[in-house]
Amino acid sequence: MKTKITTILILLITVFMNAQTVVGKWNSRDEKTGEIDSVVEIYEKNEKVFAKIIDITDPKKKVALCTLCTGSKKDKPALGMHILYKLEQKSNNKWSGGYGLDPRKGNYFNVYIKLVKPNKLKVRGYAGIPLFGKTIYWERVQ
């Protein structure tokens, strides 16, 4: 009996330790320079994942507006803007089914995110099917 209880406890502890989350703050890097250009906060609401820009490192860009955006985002500040919407957890480390926004270009796109390491997040944006898209990686803020 003690062996069964111990085994169950070890399994539960292992499951909880392996259950990683994307919730938190992530550094996004400029594709050209490789330097951190913004901090994105991912949060959960109603069992879906969203993300917004909470800091921009370049003081000039902190006041930038999304001039290329359309609709309600048109000419709104990039700082504080939501960029990932309504992602649902599909597996232990992958969220998809929502969409994203690139405030630099004003484009909306399909997106999935995948936790590849506890502190490294793969963000894949695409139009139509994931084969035709672009991948970036975010690192968790330490």
With tokens 């901090």, the residue in question is 39
Residue 41: partners with Cβ closer than 8 Å, 6 or more residues away: 24, 25, 26, 51, 52, 54
- E strand or H helix at 123, and its extent? strand 120-126
pTM (global) more than 0.85 = no
- How confident is the model over 24-75, as pLDDT tens digits? 999 999 888 999 999 999 999 999 999 999 999 999 999 999 999 999 999 9
Continuous H helices in the chain: 2-18
- How confident is the model over 80-135, as pLDDT tens digits? 999 999 999 999 999 999 999 999 899 999 999 999 999 999 999 999 887 889 99
User: Which burial class, exposed, middle or buried, applies to 3 when counting CB atoms under 10 A from its CB (0-12, 13-18, 19+)?
Assistant: exposed
| Structure tokens, 72 | 């309600």
